[in-house]
Structure 1
Amino acid sequence: MTTPHPPEYETLVGQLGRWDRRRLVNLALTWLPRGLLAGLMVAALAAAAARLRPLLDEQQLLLIIAITGALGLLAGLVWTLVQRHDLAQRARFADRQFRLQERSATAVEIQTGRLTVPPIFADQQLEDTLRAVDNVDTGAQFPFKLNWQDFAMLLGAATLLTVAYILPNPQIPKLMQQRAITESIEEQIGV
């Protein structure tokens, strides 16, 4: 049977969880745009290929842009969501990020029984950790970050794809001719 943890420890665990969620939001702010960018770059390659050979019409290009963009976003989301951290990892992250001098990790180790100390030291250490945690300015020490270079690249990829879609594709007449020949052959053989 495990002994119940003091309410102060539950307070610490709750704060570590909030910081970990903030960490996941920051990861999402990094990897969702990068995933979308990867998808749009694949679509840009398809658009370039369609201008060199009769491969895709405008509707097919739009479909490829939508599918690859969505798959890229999904990949970024999945990557973000698989970044789960156990309590000890959360505590070590908080110690590094907020310069808590290993207070959080030590408190977690003591309260989970990985480190044995006399009860009076455990209580004092937990109180000291909570005082240090209360002094953390999360917004200043761990702000949400957007990487402007990622968004500039996204804007560039979106512009490239918009231009590829709007400008007439010189391969479309050849593509339409190929499709007409294919339809004619299929009609003649009764397919």
Structure 2
Amino acid sequence: MLILRSSPFSPFGRKVQIAANVLGLGDQIEVVAADTADPRDSIRRQNPLGKIPALVLENGQVLYDSRVITDYLDHLAGGGRIIPTGEARYAVLVMQALADGILDAALLAVYEKRWREPDMHAPKWLAHQGGKMERGLAVLEETTPAAPGAIPDVGQIAVACALGYLDLRFEGEWRSQHPRLVEWLDDFSVKIPAFAATRPA
């Protein structure tokens, strides 16, 4: 049994769980909650960065981060399932990188408000991260990802998780300016049941 160290609120952990589900590997993975803020949590030994997600293999080896883990899961499922081979591979990986970058900026903005006292918030820093999110969303709106099939690619999964996280932490503010992305996410939600199943409670 593989062990996924994650949190219900981690968009990167959610990406891994959706990937495992659409690849038919969900029953081979046990999800074990990790508290990255707790120095006693074993996540700091499993991943020296103390970050999630981390996938503990049966031989004890640990894989991190989500891009490495999803690549491994695709390999485990036979390869070329959520990460294409050949030239098509790079467009999918770039889409994943863009979605992950939006998430990185969103998380930094959330952490700024969560970990620093209100009078210590840095508006310039928050604006810098907001700009990354806005530019990334603008590109996704303009080049809207293709509608997912029964097995979405890892870029599509990453985009869905990024948008889901913006709904969770930023009250869906992105929606009013990105109607094509809203329509795309609605379609993804219908076609990929794992998206709803992994939505944070």
Larger RCO: 1 or 2 (CA < 8 Å, sep 6+): 1
Query: Normalising by the residue count of structure 1, what TM-score does the alignment of the two structures yield?
Result: 0.24
Answer 1 or 2: which has greater strand percent: 2
Query: Normalising by the residue count of structure 2, what TM-score does the alignment of the two structures yield?
Result: 0.23
Answer 1 or 2: which has greater helix percent: 1
